Structure 1
């Protein structure tokens, strides 16, 4: 039941995909006023749940109730390039009516459109400025904005409507460091009900409670992410103790069953010996044999029941242990000698930046850092030949693979396995499926069309296709690779890249990830190189 402060109520919520795969089955939850974080492994249904709350998907059972106006910022912000900022903010019609009134058109229709929104320009400007979009004019077109600016603009549109309930799905994915800080400030100052799906630890430190979505159910924890980690660690320590006790009990029952079988076998052999030597009347010996067999059967059944109970207790205990499925990445064993030329940029100019010089030799790893719109993605696109340089030259004398931020390297109409086959045509179907299993695409999951995958699943499929490609890459280019990964998989990717023996260029705003993979040089997109972390 809802309480006076509850903002979102789900009752017996059920949902499944058209292929019959269930996502939720009789899920009930209540989210009240305050900041709530929702976490879970990729594919657990976090974004699907937000779609259901926002009314973009219809549940197959149960109900969703939202108290008050709802705002929703989806994970994949999509705005047409020709749309203006005022249109994206939802204030174009009001501004047009205001201009008409200022020009002498006092028709009732214009006043009806304006209503109480006479200060719409001032409120819009203040909202944009609070998110760092100071230089973005209201008549500017979306096509002129960076991906991060588009995300902040969509957030501004939601804030301008002053919803009672705000849903955010991975809002920091495309934001630079400055943009993230602006979003953090907006979250800190939020006074309504906020539900945010995110893998951003800094953002999770700002919430009042965390919901952990697992196997279609949500477990709630009070406090921020630090409190959540401490509570989970305590739970897991207790669960491990229970499992150890259950394992000891199982081993004891197995020993007792084995001992009982030995004793019963001895009795049966003794009874057979007595029967063979005919030391007692036959009718007596037959009765004793029958009684022994009945007793042996009861004894065996008793021990088997105890063993089955012990196995069941162990299974129940193990269910409390967390074994998050993570990708197991075996990067190609490509060792690049320290002196080998891998990449050379000579006065390279793109439409976004000044001339850049860079020489990459051996297994060096470079981080591309800079604000949104500084040209990180354009530089990577230019290195792989997807964009023509405005000047200068690019030389890449080794096999190179590129994982773009937009994850468009795969054909959405093909299955995951078929896409990998495109990159590794000489690999057998068994080899491809065995390798895909390490990226959590097992069995029929490898036969899913790419168009049906979630953001995290699409990332895993793209990464699998590139890393299993032939020939093995000696230079990897990654553009915001942690955007769509859960925390466990980010750790796995970090470990894999740390052990990779080829050269690496990574564009990312995730400074913890960059430090974890052993970056040797930092390229700031103002043309300077640094040997130490400039952040």
Structure 2
């Protein structure tokens, strides 16, 4: 069981990340923790894991959580055995088998005589049994490191598990193993993920917001349906409030016009009656005060409705404002952009692919480039872009303008400000105000223009990259996206999906996110083995 009571966290720079968080998770529950980038999901998981102290409130758990972080460079200097949290027991077992039967070794082993066997079984399950327990973690790929940390769950058999984006570095085979583990596990699970296939295998969704945690009693599809209903209700509230505002303004105008007519009629009667000037002035002042008071009452009502409407509109998603708006005139669908005939590439005289590759890329296609980690996807992308040459075979390319966007959005220059980065793509002589309008459209307001790109989150880098492409205006022949959703929350994945679906050129995507590939309309796959 997990109990969070009135939990708050303030960054060392005095920034309040979240406040008064309360949540109960029953033993055996499988729970997703969702929320926009920067809302504090990973920080909350670290607090639950005991790696960070809360600024306020308390945490109660029945058992120590087993924590798998999203970023794991801190393990690079340790061995596989240490990353599995089994090094001490393995060393004690080896000492005993070598004849050292001291009480210290027996105490460390704690009768766990199957520890070595479990380590090998765990590595075998996660299909990394070709690595040695004494191997250093830094020698492994990102996907292998994640598998090692997940293997530690099997070795330690914890009752409560915290996972932060566990599918990020896994290929399709690794994700299938992860899904099977989640479905079969009897442990309590709390998982941060944007992998919607994974999220649908959990039974509760908790959404962390700046205002607290909202709990939805179902999987991701249930949550998405509830959010859709909430959005429909919000849109209805916006329309009702807009209607109320129109009526209030109309009522204000009619009331002021009526009062002005009464004032004019009264003035004419007073003039006919030949009243003294001082009396006339008094009547005029009273009429003006009465009109002013009416205006004030209606202005206050109108301002109140306007403020309520503004708050409602702030809660609406901004996805529809982020459109490419490319000039597609130079795109010619059906044209052969690239052809490969019997190509291969060698490392240390060993061919990368089992069979030579033969394929064409036709303008307008949407292709998923698939293969296990290490299958040569990035190498093939570089050959397609002309950055390296195939060691064997021939290629034909009619690609004039291609954009390659990797998972870190490294086309963004960390040494530039947001505005300076946007200006780098201004090859159409846009005026400064036009560039800033584009930035505003992609949620980079005036306060962000001088912000360093180095400080941008994954979602912000993605939005800035999309904005830069709109500033360039002319649609590229081809856009290549390499694991584009890895560092994005679900909201930003929706933004990316919406933008991509407006692009009419050729698209090549490397991704293990099956739902994302389906939503962007992949037409065929190129599978590397």
Q: Which residue of 1 aligns with 2:155?
A: 160
For residue 353 of structure 1, what is the aligned residue in structure 2?
353
Match of 2:72 in 1: 77
Name the SS of the counterpart of 2:361 in structure 1: strand
Query: Any gaps of 5 or more consecutive residues in structure 1?
Result: 527-535
Do the aligned residues in 2 keep the contact of 1:327 with 1:492 (CA within 8 Å)? no
Moved more, 234-243 or 253-262: 234-243
Asked if 2 retains the 8 angstrom alpha-carbon contact of 1:399 and 1:471, the reply is: no
> Superposed, which structure 2 residues align to 1:116-135 within 5 Å?
116-135=111-130
In 1, are the aligned partners of 2:483 and 2:512 still within 8 Å (CA)? yes
Corresponding residue number in structure 2 for 1:375: 376
Contact 2:3 2:22 in 1 (8 A): no
TM-score by length of 1: 0.83
Question: Structure 2 residue aligned with 1:521, among 520, 524, 528?
Answer: 524
Task: State the match for 2:417 in structure 1.
Answer: 415
What's the offset of the Cα at 1:208?
Answer: 2.4
Q: Distance in 2 between matches of 1:430 and 1:284?
A: 57
Q: Which is further off, 114-123 or 259-268?
A: 114-123
Query: Which residue of structure 1 aligns with residue 133 of structure 2?
Result: 138
Q: Provide Cα deviations, 1:273-321, integer angstroms capped at 9, x if missing partner.
A: 23333445667656655554454444444434443454455456657x5
Q: Show the counterpart of 1:506.
A: 509
Q: Shift of residue 383 of structure 1?
A: 3.6
Give, in angstroms, the shift of residue 387 of structure 1: 5.9
CA change 1:327–1:155 in 2 (3 A) is farther
- Counterpart for residue 40 of structure 2: 45
How far apart, in 1, do the equivalents of 2:232 and 2:425 lie? Answer: 44
Deviation sequence 1:347-380 (CA, Å, 0-9, x none): 3323442321222232333211123332223322
Secondary structure of the structure 2 residue equivalent to 1:499? coil
Select which of 314, 319, 322 maps to 1:328. 322
| Equivalent residue, structure 1, for 2:406 | 404
Distance 1:312 1:435 in 2: 26
For residue 448 of structure 2, the aligned residue among 441, 445, 449 is: 445
For the 8 Å contact 1:416–1:448, the answer to whether it is kept is yes
- Say if 1:365 and 1:521, in contact at 8 Å, map to a contact too: yes
- Say if 1:100 and 1:414 are closer, same or farther in 2 by CA, change over 3 A: farther
1:225 is aligned to: 220
Q: Distance in 1 between matches of 2:120 and 2:412?
A: 40
CA distance in 2, matches of 1:14, 1:85: 33
Query: Which residue matches 2:106?
Result: 111
Post-superposition Cα deviations, 1:68-118, rounded to whole Å, max 9, x if no partner, equal 312222223336667543232132343233223222333444334323332
Contact kept in structure 1, 2:32 and 2:190, CA below 8 Å: yes
8 Å CA contact retained: 1:127, 1:156: yes
Where in structure 2 are the equivalents of 1:135-534 lying within 5 Å? 135-140=130-135, 142=137, 145-280=140-275, 288-289=283-284, 291-311=286-306, 314=309, 322-324=316-318, 328-330=322-324, 332-334=326-328, 335-338=330-333, 340-350=335-345, 351=347, 352-354=352-354, 355-384=356-385, 389-397=390-398, 398-422=400-424, 430=433, 432-464=435-467, 473-526=476-529
Aligned alpha-carbon RMSD (Å): 3.5
Moved more, 445-454 or 264-273: 445-454
* 1:111–1:143 CA distance, 2 compared to 1 (3 A): same
* Contact 2:18 2:39 (C-alpha < 8 Å) held by counterparts: no
Indicate how the Cα distance of structure 1 residues 450 and 100 shifts in structure 2: closer, same or farther if over 3 A, else same: farther
Aligned mates of 1:129, 1:174 — CA distance in 2: 18
- Structure 1: distance between partners of 2:252 and 2:39: 41
Alignment length (residue pairs): 518
2:7/2:58 contact within 8 Å kept: no
Distance change (3 Å), C-alpha of 1:257 and 1:116: same
Q: Specify the SS of the correspondent of 2:332.
A: coil
Shift of 1:524: 0.9
TM-score (norm 2): 0.84
How many Å separate the matches in 1 of 2:313 and 2:488?
26
Gaps of 5+ in 2: none
| Secondary structure of the structure 1 residue equivalent to 2:337 | strand
Query: How far, CA to CA, are the matches of 1:449 and 1:293 in structure 2?
Result: 54
User: d(CA) in 1 for partners of 2:473 and 2:283?
Assistant: 74
